[in-house]
A and B are shown apart, each in its own frame.
Chain A
Amino acid sequence: MLIESYVCERVLSRALSKGGDFAEVFVEDRRSSSARYDDGRVEELTSGRDRGAGIRVIVGETTGFAHTSDLSDAGLDAAALAAATAARGGGGGTRTVALAGDGGVAASGVMPEMVEKSAKIELLQRADAQARSVSPTIRSVSVSYADSRRRIQIANSDGLLTGDDRVRTRFMVQCVANGDTGMQTGMEAPGRGMGFEFFDDFDVESVARTAAQRAVSLLAAVPAPSGQMAVVLKRGAGGVLFHEACGHGLEADLVQRDASVFKDRIGTQVASPLVTVIDDGTFAQEWGTAAIDDEGQPAQRNVLIDKGMLTDYMWDLVRARKSGRVSSGNGRRETYRHLPMVRMTNTYLPAGETDPDEIIRDTEYGIYCVQLGGGQVDTATGDFVFGVTEGYLIENGEITRPIRAAQLVGNGPQSMNLVDAVGNDFETRTGTCGKSGQGVPVSSGQPTLRVARMTVGGTAS
């Protein structure tokens, strides 16, 4: 354990010394390392260490919060007092807290700190060489490796004492190709919730080829068309779209804030019957997976939309308490410096029954998206916009030319109602979800599927 149980008990009692309904101490010790290979050589090796504690006190609707990097008894006591003061409880008296539990299970696998730095660098060199060999048009290659090990401990005034040990590893290749149409970029960045054994399954050469081929294919790309058309999202490619355009609106904090288009829609049809949406924090070794959430609640598999019917939102402790129910294990925070809030983990649409090739053959005209960039959504309206970083035209049931600079513009609920074909394949992608200035690791996934109509904004005249 990072902090002895009796110290946590004392800190919690102190946090409640000015009154309060709930107090929590979250302790974290995180080590990270990264290496970047750029311009054909090792450019940067970085190591980071972050440790500290965040203490919160809840009084009614108000949360008082303080954090400190000083884990001494005096540092923790000062932070507990600051959180209590910030919560402005107005009450007082003594409350003792008795904790039961342990520090959780230690991470398994090949711990990144046990791996020689030279072994990490060798991966970068291999990926760089492979990317450059794809085409003479590849002008520059940037490869990076990143790992982190985050040990956390959580204790709260309900008597909970628990912890987790999370290891993540990610590999990224970015290529620039240069041709008659100017420079084009291609990127691929897989990651998993596991240690260095990640590279037993993931072939860095194939990651490099994918990124390089993406940049090269864009050299021959024509400007994307504009207007309303069918959009086919390749397996994996569109998960981020549903994460943004649908997932965020299902977060209970946004619903309670009247900032969700899905408010008051439980039990109603919000999507095509072909659409089921699941958020699953237990998905083995995925980027958004953990044994417990950052409030100590066990991770769960939550069905949010079942065959088009809205079944539930996602919840953290605060929002769940307010609604008199239990948390769904979706309380997450970026670091001990941040307050937890409702966040997604691994959000996906499960596979359907149609052969993906059949979906393309059945599309007269539209675009085929193989990779989407980031996107943005206004959760109050459901309006979204997404960039297509690898896409192709579909003409008469066939994938024809690559397109560049396409944007998808639409509305979440509308697009989910317009899903008219769902493939029998499936893939996930790794990402960082940003919300209120906090980034947390998530994944998203989906089978190949078609949205019958979406607005495509391109530059073709």
Chain B
Amino acid sequence: MSDEQSLLTLCQSIAGSAADGEGIEAYATRSRETDIDVFAGEIESLSVAGSSGIGIRVIANQRQGFAWAGSLDADVVADTLQEARDNARYSEPDEHYGLVDLATAQQFDRPDLMLWDSRLEAVDLETKIEYALELDKRVRGADARIRNVESTNYGDGLVESALASSMGIAATNRRTIASASAVAIAGDADDTQTGYGFSVGRAFEDLDADVILAMAVERSTRLLGAQQPPGRRIAVIFDPMVTASFLGVLSSAFNGESMLKGRSLFLDRIGESVAANCVTLTDDPTDAQSLGAAPYDAEGVACRSNPLIVNGVLQTFLHNSYTARRANTATTGSAVRGGYRSTPGVGVRSLRLVSGALDPIELVAGYGEVLYVQAVHGLHSGTNAISGDFSVGAEGIMMRDGGYQEPVREITIASTLPKMLHAIVGIGNDVTYLPGGTVGVSVLMNEMTMSGA
């Protein structure tokens, strides 16, 4: 029996123990991971590990309880089911609690996604070690200004999971991921800057060391000599990774749970213009190339592409079955969970903006001076998806006269999420699949407040 089938058998046996009037859902995962860190030309740590765990949700008398365990041992699993039942007794009844029925789960066809690349299983440890050591060496020697490498990493994972419920849901999934990255430290007489480069895919063969090298070198060296500029209002262009961070902050505004609790920026705005006309934003887990791709959601409902903003107009909120029942609408297949340790919440999997035809340099032509934002800091503290405030630390490069000019540091850029969405005047062609699942692309906004000296 394959691994995910044995997980399914376990989940089904738990779900099958449901008493009359009781609903049980079990989700189990098993994963194998390799993680290699290189420092100063040597393997600093090499970790090989297997993990497994289970999360059990019980709904009885309209009350819900949950428990998880990082073990599939029979005694622990039995305790976990008992704890979930006990937790249900103490929660308050809510008519909207419920497990998804088969008709809802199968209303859409599950996208046929190839997320497992069996080649990864065949790569031996020595090959991975050599790859990491070689990458470290190459970054070190890539440019005279690279003074050191802060860290070089190789990681991969093979993850199998199963989901079963007493409503008849039965699903399995498996996926692979391989990634490598390096943080270069560039230095000259009086400055030090770091730059991150990465490559990610479903198989070891997908990794491209040249890309990592070029990215880490460019991002560290081009900031050397950065100064704090005087503050002013200025057009900004976000690097694809910064755009991903921006979309990450914005994502909770589309969350059906936030909406129901009155915590969404977009409350009562469906059908209205919430962004510039050039903005079309989709949550699309059906593109196998995205690291956020998935055939079904955390409740077993088929995933589909959900348009969120089309030509600036807000289309929908995202729902799992619970928030859909409360909002009197249908689930959008957007139930997510942070592994076996949490109940299905609502979330995005793979946000992407419809890209344009121009690269960043072509995009800013005609805008005089533009701040190219390479990285932002303090997102958690400086942004608030409820109030819409957005004020973060940043570093980047001034763009003028058709090219990149002097680097800048110790600045903050500030605006509000609604203003930023309306300030978007251009979207680039540099589509980048990022490790977090978001698909990044350069975005030009015609005004933000930059504070500096």
Contact A140 B263 (CB under 8 A): yes
Given contacts A45-B65, A376-B378, contact A455 B46 (CB under 8 A): no
CB distance from B26 to the nearest CB of A (A): 15
**Residue on A with the closest CB to B88?**
A45
Contact A404 B410 (CB under 8 A): no
Which residues of chain B have C-beta atoms less than 8 A from A50's C-beta? 69-71
- Among B37-45, B98-106, B158-166, B268-276, the stretch in contact with A: B37-45
| Chain A proximity mask over B74-108: 1 for CB below 8 Å, otherwise 0 | 00100110011011101110100000000000000
Which residues of chain A have C-beta atoms less than 8 A from B71's C-beta? 49-52, 69-70
Which residues of chain A have C-beta atoms less than 8 A from B381's C-beta? 372-375, 386-387, 389, 407
Which residues of chain B have C-beta atoms less than 8 A from A61's C-beta? 39-40, 42-44
| Chain A proximity mask over B142-168: 1 for CB below 8 Å, otherwise 0 | 000001101100000000000000000
Given contacts A38-B261, A185-B384, A455-B228, contact A45 B39 (CB under 8 A): no
Contact A65 B47 (CB under 8 A): yes
Given contacts A38-B261, A378-B194, A383-B409, contact A405 B389 (CB under 8 A): yes
> For window 38-70 of chain B, which residues contact chain A by CB distance below 8 Å?
39-40, 42-53, 64-70
Contact B46 A63 (CB under 8 A): yes
**Residue on B with the closest CB to A437?**
B35
Q: Is A82 part of the binding interface, using a Cβ–Cβ cutoff of 8 Å?
A: yes
Contact A64 B46 (CB under 8 A): yes
Q: Is A134 part of the binding interface, using a Cβ–Cβ cutoff of 8 Å?
A: no
**Residue on B with the closest CB to A142?**
B261
Residue of A51, A86, A457 near B46 (CB, 8 A) is A86
Residue of A184, A258, A387, A389 near B185 (CB, 8 A) is A258
Which residues of chain B have C-beta atoms less than 8 A from A184's C-beta? 386-387
- Of the four ranges (under 10, 10 to 19, 20 to 34, 35 or more), the interface on chain B belongs to 35 or more
Q: Is A121 part of the binding interface, using a Cβ–Cβ cutoff of 8 Å?
A: yes
- Tell me the complex Cα distance, A22–B241, Å: 41
Contact B410 A409 (CB under 8 A): yes
| Chain B proximity mask over A38-65: 1 for CB below 8 Å, otherwise 0 | 1101111111111110000000111111
Interface residue SS majority, chain B: strand
Residue of A42, A49, A406 near B76 (CB, 8 A) is A49
Q: Is A265 part of the binding interface, using a Cβ–Cβ cutoff of 8 Å?
A: no
**Residue on A with the closest CB to B93?**
A41
**Residue on B with the closest CB to A376?**
B377
Contact A257 B150 (CB under 8 A): yes
**Residue on B with the closest CB to A381?**
B192
| Chain A proximity mask over B313-356: 1 for CB below 8 Å, otherwise 0 | 00000000000000000000000000001110000000000000
Given contacts A228-B453, A458-B414, contact A42 B91 (CB under 8 A): yes
Q: Is B231 part of the binding interface, using a Cβ–Cβ cutoff of 8 Å?
A: yes
Contact A383 B51 (CB under 8 A): no
- Tell me the complex Cα distance, A44–B390, Å: 30
Which residues of chain B have C-beta atoms less than 8 A from A45's C-beta? 65-66, 87-88, 90-91
CB distance from A64 to the nearest CB of B (A): 5
A-side residues, CB < 8 A to B, are 38-39, 41-52, 60-70, 82, 85-88, 117-118, 121, 139-140, 176, 178, 182-185, 218, 224, 226-228, 257-259, 337, 339, 372-376, 378, 380-381, 383-387, 389, 404-407, 409-411, 455-459, 461
Give 24 CB contacts A-B under 8 Å.
Answer: A38-B261, A41-B92, A45-B66, A48-B68, A48-B70, A51-B70, A52-B71, A61-B39, A63-B46, A64-B45, A64-B47, A69-B53, A218-B387, A257-B151, A259-B150, A380-B150, A381-B192, A383-B393, A383-B409, A384-B377, A385-B412, A386-B378, A389-B381, A457-B414
